[in-house]
Structure 1
Amino acid sequence: MDKRGQPQAQYRLDWVDVARGIGIIAVVIGHVWTRGPLRDAMYSFHMPLFFLLSGMLSRPQPVGAFTRRQIASQMRPYAAFLALLLIVEQIIEPLKGQRPIFRHWPDDLAPILLGGTWLPGPYIIFWFVPCLMIARILFNVALNRWPDPLDRRWALLLLPMLLFAYVLGWWTHASPLGLLSVPMAFLLLWVGAVWPRVPWHNRMILPLGALAVLGLGGVLPTLNMKIADYGWPLLSIGVAVATSLLIFRLSALIAPYAGPVATIGRASLVIMYLHVAVVHYLTPYMGKAVLLALALLLPFVAFHLIRVTPLRRIFL
């Protein structure tokens, strides 16, 4: 029990949902405002936040069972939402007097199956889930070997992985299924796993805040994890970590009062998959503020409709 007499597990889940809510709102903002300082501020931290959060919740699990569970639970919704948007595109684009992105069948099956950077337009976010899934599977293998993320032997893996992440990003931007970003995602999972072991002190706010300002204020180059563009080596990703850790701390403090944000966080996966399509199809007809509201609201409503029907077994 915590000091308010509430179960600790529930309190923990509440702040996690708040953090997810803040993160997914940042993602949507970054896709509504596609250029300028607001977009750059969101891109400075929004995707690393989700990898860090996943790392914080990671525990060693049996490798085989965990791998099978990840593939089944993540790739089923991935395929379902991708198929749904492909059908929607075939309907909406002709109604607008335009041709669908994917219209050369069966040749277009190849880029659809490759995913990642081969998916443009309303599909651009589909790199994230397979990237996270593969990174989590690999991280779980390492956790089973070294359950303590502070074990010095992790350095034998982390240092080459860090170098590999930057070399890959400099070498190519091609990313099938988001695999290009897996090395950096792996590193962020480790940082997330380490963070709960670090006692919080309020004096941390100053250095973390200073780093966060460098990213949010556009002083340092921003990130684009999809194409493994990590800005200035170590500094830009360090800014993302600092901003995310401050958001986690804020989420824990406001969790009892941030129910609406937590509710958005619980719908974050569906919002992740569907919001870009809303932005893509409505941008010519809506102002930015209205577009932001609809890009959150429509997928949020879809989430609640899906969860009360048998479709939840496919999409959730």
Structure 2
Amino acid sequence: MGGERAAAAQRYEWVDVARGIGIVAVVIGHVWSRGLPHTLTYSFHMPLFFLLSGYLFRPKPIVAFARSQIVWQGLSYCAFLALLVAVDTLIEGSRGGRGIFHTWPQDLGRLAFGGSKLRGPFTVFWFVPCLIFARILFNALAARFPDPLGKAWWFIAPLALAVAYLLGWATDVSPLGLLTVPMALFLLWAGAALNVIGWRGWMLWLLPPLSIAGLFFLPALNMKGGDYGWPLLSMAGAIATSLLIFRASHWGGGVLKPFSALGRASLVIMYLHVPVIHYLSYLPRPWILALATVIPLLVYYLLNLTRPTRTVFLGQPK
């Protein structure tokens, strides 16, 4: 039993490490809004999270899962959104200005629309609603077609990919991040398929060239706006880089272990790092990077102290 628990802990440890590396990449990409650090991180960071979610996914009862996602993850989303509206109003008011949302009740419509209407310190709020609805859709399909390598998915996955590109070319308007749901669905499937396939030796030959191409030669991604770079190629590079990070998280052991704490706090860092960057933009970028990582990490530990804050902000009812 002890050995089984240790093996399970090790499995979860690499997941936290991979999340930690991913969230650091997200922060770097927002601290450096242009240049090589921005391009490198934007070539893979958001696909990594969708792939990892798919890799860990197990089909659940459709209605209960949808309810759980909407209620608990939706509660967390609304709580952080309300918190940041209040913080932005206080900070901008102390400077003699006005918060981003200051025309009430008209601004309630912008907040409810979310997605492409949320910018500045709220710019990352597209991600969680997109993930919620993509996971609900994926779960409903997986309940009907549980084998991600089955024939049905070889029709569904390319269809989702085609719809993603068509919508991305047609518009960048995205209520609640829903524009990105078809691509998120494809990546969830790709992660689940990887879990079934497992690591193969040939991947060590195929993935590095694809990753290098994605990092240095192909256009980067802007998933929020439905911009997926060069069709198929940029996303293939993103998937390759993400899979290599997953493998490095397995192999890294103690060297990469510090990333696991950031991985466990990745949801809070996702919500809060951009406000830290926004309000401390006058500092040198290395300082902003450190503070945009550490401050949300400390907030995560504070939220973990009580059951009400875990429930409301972290979406953990128990």
Q: Shorter-chain TM-score category?
A: over 0.9
Contact 2:148 2:189 (8 Å CA) reproduced = yes
State the TM-score, normalized to the length of structure 1.
0.96
Deviation at 1:160, TM superposition (A): 2.0
- 1:108 counterpart SS class: helix
Instruction: Report the alpha carbon displacement of residue 215 of structure 1 after superposing the two structures with TM.
Output: 1.8
1:297 equivalent in alignment to 2:294: yes
**Structure 2 runs not aligned, ≥5 long:** none
Q: Which amino acid aligns with 1:267?
A: A
Distance in 2 between residues matched to 1:290 and 1:256, nearest whole Å: 26
Decide whether the 8 Å contact of 1:166 with 1:228 is kept in 2.
yes
TM-score (norm 2): 0.95
Map Cα deviations across residues 144-172 of structure 1 (whole Å, 9 max, x no partner): 11110000111232222111110100000
Counterpart AA for 2:275: A
1:18–1:255 contact (8 Å) kept in structure 2: no
1:1-316 matches, within 5 Å, as: 7-217=6-216, 219-284=217-282, 286-309=283-306, 310-316=308-314
Question: Where in structure 1 do 4 or more consecutive aligned residues deviate above 6 Å?
Answer: none
Identify the range of structure 1 (16-25 vs 156-165) with the bigger mean alpha-carbon deviation.
Answer: 156-165
Segment drifting more, 249-258 vs 147-156: 249-258
1:308 maps to amino acid? L
1:269-307: CA deviation from partner (whole Å, max 9, x where unpaired) = 0000000000000002x1000000000000000000110
| 8 Å CA contact 1:14, 1:255 repeated in 2 | no
Contact 2:214 2:236 in 1 (8 A): no
Matched residues in 2 for 1:204 and 1:154: separation? Answer: 22
Code of the residue aligned with 1:29 in structure 2: it is: I
Instruction: Work out the CA distance in 1 between the residues paired with 2:45 and 2:224.
Output: 12
1:233-279 CA-partner distances (Å, limit 9, x unpaired): 00000000000000000001114443321011000000000000000
Which amino acid is the alignment partner of residue 9 of structure 2?
Q
Q: Counterparts of 2:60 and 2:121 in 1: how far apart (Å)?
A: 35
In the alignment, the residues of structure 2 paired with residue 10 and residue 52 of structure 1 have an alpha-carbon distance, to the nearest angstrom, of 20
Please report how far the alpha carbon of residue 6 of structure 1 lies from its aligned counterpart in structure 2 after TM superposition: 6.1
The CA distance in 2 between the partners of 1:159 and 1:5, in whole Å, is 38
Paired positions, count: 313
Q: Compared with structure 1, are the counterparts of its residues 98 and 51 closer, same or farther at alpha carbon in structure 2 (3 Å cutoff)?
A: same
Deviations 1:47-87 (A, max 9, x none): 00000000001111100111111111211110000000000
Q: Which whole-Å CA distance do the structure 1 matches of 2:173 and 2:122 have between them?
A: 15
Any idea what the Cα deviations from partners look like across 1:75-106, whole Å, max 9, x if unmatched? 11100000000000111012223321111111
Q: Write the letter of the residue equivalent to 1:69.
A: S
Separation (CA, whole Å) in 2 of partners of 1:199 and 1:14: 18
What is the CA distance between 1:5 and its match in structure 2?
A: 7.6
Unaligned 5+ segments in structure 1 are none
Cα-to-partner distance string for 1:3-49 (whole Å, 9 max, x where unaligned):
x8863221110000000000000000000000011101000000000
- Partner amino acid, structure 2, of 1:274: L
